[in-house]
Structure 1
Amino acid sequence: MQGMIRRNDHADLERALDTQAGVVLLGPRQVGKTTLAQDIADARDAVYLDMERPGDRHVLAEADLYLDEQVGRLVVIDEVQLMPGLFSALRGQIDRRRRAGHRTGQFLLLGSASDALLRQSAESLAGRVSYHELTPFVLDEVGQGAQQTLWLRGGFPDGFLAPSDRDSLRWREDFIRTYLERDIPSFGLRIPAETLRRFWTMLAHEQGGVLNAARIAAGLGVSGQSVARYLDLLVDLMLVRRLPPWHANAGKRLVKSPKVFIRDAGLTHALLGLGTVEALLGHPVVGGSWEGFCIENLIAAAPRGTQASFYRSAAGAEIDLILRLPDQQLWAIEIKRTTRPKVTRGFHIAANDLGVAARLLVYAGDREVPGEGGVRALPLADAMARLRAAVTS
């Protein structure tokens, strides 16, 4: 079933391989990187190696000897961060192949996102590869009719496609446990699993809130530096989004702390034990969960290179999401889980301050309607379609 859902990134990766020697595909574990890579490899002359398999690691013990025999083929290397010594060999391979006329489609490298992976590859492969992020499923991949299921279960393929809500919740709970007990330690990070679970759960309770590191530190009984380290880790693993505040208006008193979201709504709900729509709708996190769900989908639909932030002033002017598109246009987006297409006066004040090009309200209605002050109220799927159109315009 997973293979039947065509990923939006599929065509982008194909184009990148047709123009670049190598492509690095990053994303959390179980997000579907391997399935996507195998779909691409099936249409090419390719070889697939998984660095979690001892036999494949042994094949690359003498990397140059093996890779010299694969010239002209696409080499897919999964979990590449487990063999950091490969990056210097890959740099040499790419450079030699370029000189020999093999300039594109040589390597597809998959990695569970981590700061270590990015740092190693950036140093060794700068200018030689392009980087792409694979997120969990987003709405325009699964269809608007599946919006409620996607919001409740999240977009990790095995959780979204589970036979029932109960099976999905069980998968997500196991995913969280495995990440804490096996995957994070595999990166060489020594953080007690129970402490990190408590931290992750605290973030779920405050989904979409402005970060108060001191309060979290007091609740965990750790230092502020430890809280910063835990947050950096979950951001690096692409499990948490740290949405920065807008900071360009020097004359305004603006909130300076980031807002923090668990990026996959299904993981938020699993951390809180919310396994049904009814349980979610009756929980205080419902508003923050909906906001985070919409933000992740909107950012995924935005043009490559878009910068995301939020705006909040001491006077109460606020915008949930500001997108600075690559052409420097600003889109101001308000997100409300309501059927009433109306924004606050503070939204208009902030939008006027910033001189935005577009004012959108993403709401729970099912049709696009004009609002006051140039606002367009529209469903999430329609807002995503507008952003997709901006990619190609």
Structure 2
Amino acid sequence: MHGYFPRAAAGALERALARAPAALLLGPRQCGKSTLARQLLAQRSDAVLLDLQDRADRARLQEPELFFEAHRHELICLDEIQLLPEFFSLLRAEIDRDRRPSRFLLLGSASGPLLRQSHESLAGRIAEVELTPFLLQEVAHAASWQQLWLRGGFPESLLSAAEDDSVAWREDFIRTFLGRDIAGLQLGLPLPLMERLWRLLAHSQGQTLNTSRLAGLLDLRSSRLQHLLAVLEQTFMLRRLPPLEANLSKRLVRSPKLYLRDSGLLHSLLGIESYDDLLAHPQAGESWEGFVIEQLIAAHPRWRPHFLRTSNGAELDLVLERGQRRRAYEIKLSKAPRVSRGFHELVGQLQPERAELIAPVDQAFEARPGIWVRPPHESSTPDRSLASPAP
């Protein structure tokens, strides 16, 4: 058993419940949603938790109106809400009878269908919070950044007693995800094809999406491939990082970049089992880039993430945008990183409020006027507000 690790999203979840009748906590399976919810509920005397994977708990909802009436003055937490999508319309009717805040806490593992249901049925009644696997600042006292990068942020992987145990957990997770979660979506694809897609995506880490090439390798129509990529996004496994729409003089790359979001799962798909394996792997740089990008995006939830690349190769690995504000990042796997000419030129044209090079250095230093080199934990302190209201 591992001790409880305070999560950066906890405060955001409490604020979401304080202002809205319902809060939806989203994130991949086994990232800690249930643990966070139980920790929050343990601090209250007016809460009831139902796990919708449990038959007995589901039986208590056979007459939902009676259940809601019996617990109207309690916080009702429904775990694995994606198993009962028809409940969103029932929740709407119940909330409209009593719109007090902090009535429902919903936990879910598949963002696409859940977000559609919540937006359509609970617009103006629900606040959404995303929980990622562990972030750097959440586990700094228990794990090094090297360990977090190698093993990824899923609690059972990161906190395993031995490297072999971590590897075995991730391999089991991948098998279960493909064999149960993806199969449960009834996509009509054989398991070996989904396994091949995931491995191709691992070998495409940090590359721009070439739909025709990837579809050809899998013998799929491009439209079918796009649907599969959307499913992997909705289950929090894949990130398609969009290009920044910027008014610059140079031609820009318009295709999104692909990243498997958890570095530990990426490494398992690439056959990487140790830190030495990782440093020697030809995709170590792309893995580091994806790892840092996820840390930065999680720390800036109200900022829209992009990348920027010109046709001649100048690039900003990550641009965070919020209204008229921009922050630009270059990411390098080097103890002695140097600011690239392309990064310097694009920063000069874009004029972001912050320009940083993130690298595994021991301490921050100013590389050029206005451009700082920082270790990842110094740029991944979360913004205060992590909750976003449903439109």
TM-score by length of 2: 0.95
Deviation at 1:149, TM superposition (A): 0.6
Which 4+ runs in 1 deviate beyond 3 A? 387-391
Alignment partner, residue 128 of structure 1: 125
Alignment partner, residue 39 of structure 1: 39
Alignment partner, residue 16 of structure 2: 16
Give the whole-Å Cα distance in 1 for the aligned partners of 2:231 and 2:249: 33
Alignment partner, residue 287 of structure 2: 289
Of residues 212-221 and 291-300 in structure 1, the stretch that sits farther from structure 2 once superposed is 212-221
Aligned residues: 384
Deviation at 1:236, TM superposition (A): 0.8
Alignment partner, residue 29 of structure 1: 29
Residue 140 (1) aligns with residue 141 (2): no
Give the whole-Å Cα distance in 1 for the aligned partners of 2:196 and 2:177: 14
Give the whole-Å Cα distance in 1 for the aligned partners of 2:384 and 2:335: 25
Q: Report the CA distance shift for 1:381/1:389 in structure 2 as closer, same or farther (over 3 A).
A: farther
Of residues 43-52 and 147-156 in structure 1, the stretch that sits farther from structure 2 once superposed is 43-52
The superposition leaves residues 183-218 of structure 1 with CA deviations (integer Å, 9 ceiling, x where unpaired) of: 122234332221111111111112111111222122
Alignment partner, residue 389 of structure 2: none
Alignment of 1:257-272 (within 5 A): 257-272=255-270
Structure 1, unaligned runs of 5 or more: none
Q: Report the CA distance shift for 1:320/1:296 in structure 2 as closer, same or farther (over 3 A).
A: same
Q: Report the CA distance shift for 1:389/1:61 in structure 2 as closer, same or farther (over 3 A).
A: closer
Q: Report the CA distance shift for 1:233/1:175 in structure 2 as closer, same or farther (over 3 A).
A: same
Give the whole-Å Cα distance in 2 for the aligned partners of 1:171 and 1:287: 24
Give the whole-Å Cα distance in 1 for the aligned partners of 2:337 and 2:274: 27
Give the whole-Å Cα distance in 2 for the aligned partners of 1:134 and 1:190: 29
Alignment partner, residue 63 of structure 1: 64
Q: Report the CA distance shift for 1:2/1:74 in structure 2 as closer, same or farther (over 3 A).
A: farther
Give the whole-Å Cα distance in 2 for the aligned partners of 1:114 and 1:192: 23
Residue 348 (1) aligns with residue 349 (2): no
RMSD: 1.6
SS at match of 2:144: helix
Q: Is the 8 A contact 2:23 2:105 kept in 1?
A: yes
Give the whole-Å Cα distance in 2 for the aligned partners of 1:135 and 1:2: 18
Residue 375 (1) aligns with residue 371 (2): yes
Deviation at 1:72, TM superposition (A): 1.1
The superposition leaves residues 358-379 of structure 1 with CA deviations (integer Å, 9 ceiling, x where unpaired) of: 1101011111101114211110
Alignment partner, residue 157 of structure 1: 155
Deviation at 1:342, TM superposition (A): 1.8
Give the whole-Å Cα distance in 2 for the aligned partners of 1:236 and 1:113: 6
Larger RCO, structures 1/2 (Cα 8 Å, 6+ apart): 2
Deviation at 1:353, TM superposition (A): 1.9
Q: Is the 8 A contact 2:16 2:128 kept in 1?
A: no
Identify which of 109, 133, 136 aligns with 1:112. 109
Amino acid at match of 2:73: G
SS at match of 2:380: helix
Amino acid at match of 2:348: N
Q: Is the 8 A contact 2:118 2:126 kept in 1?
A: no
TM-score by length of 1: 0.94
SS at match of 2:343: helix
Q: Is the 8 A contact 2:25 2:107 kept in 1?
A: yes
Deviation at 1:250, TM superposition (A): 6.4
Alignment of 1:220-259 (within 5 A): 220-249=218-247, 251-259=249-257
Q: Is the 8 A contact 1:23 1:131 kept in 2?
A: yes
Deviation at 1:283, TM superposition (A): 0.9
SS at match of 1:75: strand
The superposition leaves residues 24-48 of structure 1 with CA deviations (integer Å, 9 ceiling, x where unpaired) of: 0011111111111111111112111
Q: Is the 8 A contact 2:12 2:385 kept in 1?
A: no
Residue 360 (1) aligns with residue 356 (2): yes
The superposition leaves residues 314-345 of structure 1 with CA deviations (integer Å, 9 ceiling, x where unpaired) of: 132210000113x5311110000112242111
Q: Is the 8 A contact 1:348 1:373 kept in 2?
A: no
Alignment partner, residue 316 of structure 1: 313
Percent identity between matched residues is 45
The superposition leaves residues 231-260 of structure 1 with CA deviations (integer Å, 9 ceiling, x where unpaired) of: 111011111110001123265311011000
Say which structure is richer in helix: 1
Alignment partner, residue 96 of structure 1: 97
Q: Is the 8 A contact 1:341 1:371 kept in 2?
A: no
Deviation at 1:3, TM superposition (A): 4.1
SS at match of 1:201: helix
Of residues 237-246 and 342-351 in structure 1, the stretch that sits farther from structure 2 once superposed is 342-351
Give the whole-Å Cα distance in 1 for the aligned partners of 2:101 and 2:139: 31
Of residues 282-291 and 217-226 in structure 1, the stretch that sits farther from structure 2 once superposed is 217-226
Give the whole-Å Cα distance in 1 for the aligned partners of 2:348 and 2:69: 59
